[in-house]
Amino acid sequence: MSPIVSPRGRYLVFGAPRLPEEAIEAVTEVLRSGWLGTGPRVAAFEEAFAQYIGAPFAVAVSSCTAALHLALSLIGVGPGDEVITSPMTFAATANVIVHMGARPVFADVDPRTGNLDPEAVQDAITPRTRAIIVVHYTGRPCEMDAFIDLAQRHGIFLIEDAAHALEAFYKGRKVGTLGDLAAFSFYPTKSLTTGEGGMLVTSVEAWAERARVLRMHGLSRDAWRRYSEEQFPDYEVLEAGYKYNMTDIQAALGLAQLPYLEGWRRHRELLWQIYNEGLRDLAGIHIPHEDVHIVHARHLYTIRVDPREAPFHRNELIRILHQAGIGTGIHYKALHLHRFYQQAFGYRPGMFPHAERISEETLSLPLTAHMEESDVLYVIDTLRQLWRRGKV
């Protein structure tokens, strides 16, 4: 079959960010101010973000990975400990566990949602379990009541990897306020981007204060306070910290986008429903599962391409869509299938069958606030053409 050529003359980039003019102007103001590092814009972003989430404290950092690493540091994870998490996530979620000298323990996922299965997590808990990191996969909140109960009964910590779920709610409660700590991402593909960046959220003041120390080399005072106050810029190194601080340039971008988040989410919701209506009758395409007790952040629109029914394998479909000018993504290759986790921890194919099947079949289609309805209709029309040709 000859490849489809896009008649639109432009490539539909997967995960293209949407930046309002105010964000560009805000960055220009920071550049002109002469203060480019961690300063007053970071403090303002933290305050505004905490208010948006509904949490007492937010600590801006250089990435969601940094936020997760700090979260594990704050609860004292170390060698000999185990932290349970999902194999259906980006490597960072597990890698930070390894960096603490602990063992990442994977548990299988719900085959409908791709989120951690509470029963599988229960079976994975041992006397060495220190924490559970739940991953709100694609923007759908996990079944948090069950995880809160597990954490309380076993006396372990609960951390939310909310990289996909900035705008999400679970039973009326905001994602990021349901566990002991939460980590958010502002990577370029996220609904709010600072280029690179992340946020650690908690209700424990002592944790927030220590995180602010750890993110800046373990110094007793933030750099902008040391150099902006009219006194000798003295400081102490309180512990061996990290270079995890956010800059004012990044914070200015984030602050300018916060007021747009709900409107952008509603726009993605509209595009999501157009996808659903256009794809639900294609054989071998499984559209996302819906739940009534959550507000989905609508971060990733992932379909499942079932090789038993679909005329194309997922990987072949990626290639053909690329030729048609449509960018796609895979979220994710399950972590237990990667060489490192197999060699370091003995994981093998077949250990987490639901995650493995999702890993083999999942395909993320373009979904951003930057897109128009015509973009989604083009993707749908391309897929429907392929399905018609594939049956010939």
Ranking 4-13, 138-147, 310-319 by mean pLDDT, the lowest is 4-13
Q: Are residues 228 and 288 in the same domain?
A: no
Given a contact cutoff of 8 angstroms between Cβ atoms, the answer to whether 128 and 82 are in contact is: yes
Give the position of tokens 């990442």.
104
Q: HSE-up of 202 (CA within 13 Å, CB side)?
A: 24
Given a contact cutoff of 8 angstroms between Cβ atoms, the answer to whether 173 and 26 are in contact is: no
Give the position of tokens 């003359």.
9
Question: Looking at the predicted structure, is the pLDDT value of residue 365 above 90?
Answer: yes
pLDDT digits 0-9 by tens, 30-43: 999 988 888 899 99
Q: Are residues 281 and 369 in the same domain?
A: yes
* Residues designated catalytic: 190
What's the rounded Cα separation, in Å, for the pair 132 and 190? 24
pLDDT category of residue 9 using cuts at 50, 70 and 90: confident
DSSP of 272-327: HHHHHHHHTTSTTEEPPP--SSEE-----EEEEE-TTTSSS-HHHHHHHHHHTTB-
pLDDT digits 0-9 by tens, 198-243: 999 999 999 999 999 999 999 986 655 655 555 556 788 999 999 9
Is residue 345 domain-resident? yes
pLDDT category of residue 7 using cuts at 50, 70 and 90: low
Question: Looking at the predicted structure, is the pLDDT value of residue 254 above 60?
Answer: yes
Q: Are residues 251 and 300 in the same domain?
A: no
Structural domain span for residue 42 = 21-259
The mean pLDDT value of the chain amounts to 94
pLDDT category of residue 390 using cuts at 50, 70 and 90: confident
> How many domains is the chain built from?
2
Q: Are residues 71 and 219 in the same domain?
A: yes
Give the residue among 82, 68, 73 at the shortest CA–CA distance from 160.
Answer: 68
Domain with 71 in it: what CATH number? 3.40.640.10
Looking at the chain, the whole-number percentage of residues with pLDDT higher than 70 is 94
Is residue 15 domain-resident? no
pLDDT digits 0-9 by tens, 44-60: 999 999 999 999 999 99
